Amino acid sequence: MTSIAVSTTINGDDVEFLCRADETLLDVLRNRLGLMGAKEGCGTGDCGACSTIMDGRVVCSCLVLGAETEGREIETIEGMANGSDLHPLQSKFIEHAALQCGVCTPGFLMAAKALLAAHPDPTEKEIRFWLAGNLCRCTGYDKIVRAVQDAAAEMRGEGT
């Protein structure tokens, strides 16, 4: 078996790893790099629990081969907080009780971060459709949507 050597950027750091051709980015993050924040809820792109941001776009890391990330820039949940300062989305999720079991939370946060980068002032409908690829079975989404709205307002400097 021949492994592939990959050089990529993860959360701003240069990272090199070896992987088999059939390993996904999710496999690499979890099993080779110890970045377990991305979860495998389905492995087929239906739940969004493994969402990461690749070159500025949110993707399911279960649907990206590790080998494909050569030269790319990857952001994961582990890089979302700035040191000990939580990202506004992270704070608002806790504040609004937007998580119960929390297993979908990293994926929601990555998807919401990409949303607010593209649409700083999204409507409720835009939030709901953007996040439709992230399944949550605990909350009924109500508090998640409110947390994203509140974080967006804070990031726009509107305060709460």
Partner 1 sequence: MSFDATYKEKKLKSVGTRPLRPDGVDKVTGRARYGADFNMPGQLVARVLRSPHAHARIMRIDVSRAVALKGVKAVITAADLPDLTNGNAALYAILDNCMARTKAFYDGHAVAAVAAIDAKVAREALKLIEVEYDVLPHVVDVDAAMAPDAPLLDENLFTQGIDPAPTTPSNVGNRSEFGHGDVESGFAKADVIVERSYKTEQTHQGYIEPHACVASCNVDGTAEMWVCTQGHFVYRQTCADLLGLEVSKLRVTSSEIGGGFGGKTHVWAEPLALALSRKAGRPVKLVMSREEVFRASGPTSQTSIDVKIGATKDGKITAALATLRYSSGPYADSWAETGAMTSFACYDLENVKTVGFEVIVNRPKVAAYRAPSAPMAAFAVESAIDELAHKIGMDSVELRIKNAASEGSRSSYGPIYGPIGIGPTLEAARTHPHMSAPLGKNQGRGMACGFWFNFGGQTCTDLNISADGTVTLAVGTVDVGGSRASLSLIAAEELGISYDDVKAVIADTSTLGYNDMTDGSRGTFSSSMATISAARNAIVTMRERAALMWDIPVEDVAWEEGHAKAVGASYDNRAPLSVKDIAAEAGNTGGPIAGHSELVADGAGVSFGTHICDVEVDPETGATRVIRYTVIQDAGKAVHPAYVEGQYQGGAAQGIGWALNEEYVYGADGRLQNPGFLDYRIPVCSDLPMIDTQILEIPNPNHPYGVRGVGETSIVPPLAAVANAVSDAVGVRMVHVPVSPPRILAALNAKAKG
Partner 2 sequence: MRYERPGTIEDAVAMLAQASGRSFVLAGGTDLLVRMKSDDFDADLVVDIKAIPGMDEIAETADGFAIGAAVSCAELAENSALVSAWPGVVEAANLIGSTQIQSRCTMTGNLCNASPAADSVPALVAADARVRVIGPNGTRTISAQNIPVGPGKTSLEKGDIIDAILLARPQPRSGDAYLRFIPRTEMDIAVVGVAVNLTLGADGSVQTARVALGAVAPSVILSEEAARTLIGTKLEAAALGALEAACSAASIPIDDKRGTVAFRKQVAGVLARRAARIAYERAGGK
Interface ranges with partner 1 (CB under 8 A): 20, 22, 30, 35-44, 46-47, 49, 76-78, 80-81, 86, 90, 93-97, 99-106, 109, 124-125, 127-129, 131-146
Q: Which of partner 2, partner 1, none sits in contact with 59, Cβ below 5 to 8 A by type? A: partner 2
CB-wise, 71 or 102, nearer to partner 2?
71
Q: Which of partner 1, partner 2, none sits in contact with 8, Cβ below 5 to 8 A by type? A: none
CB-wise, 28 or 47, nearer to partner 1?
47
Q: Which of partner 1, partner 2, none sits in contact with 80, Cβ below 5 to 8 A by type? A: partner 1
* Smallest distance from partner 1 to CB 10, Å: 13
Answer for the pair 122, 64: CB distance below 8 angstroms, yes or no. no
Residue with tokens 């949507």: 145
For the purposes of burial, counting CB atoms within 10 Å of the CB of 86, is it exposed (0-12), middle (13-18) or buried (19 or more)?
middle
Q: Which of partner 2, partner 1, none sits in contact with 158, Cβ below 5 to 8 A by type? A: none
Other Cβ atoms closer than 10 A to 16: 8
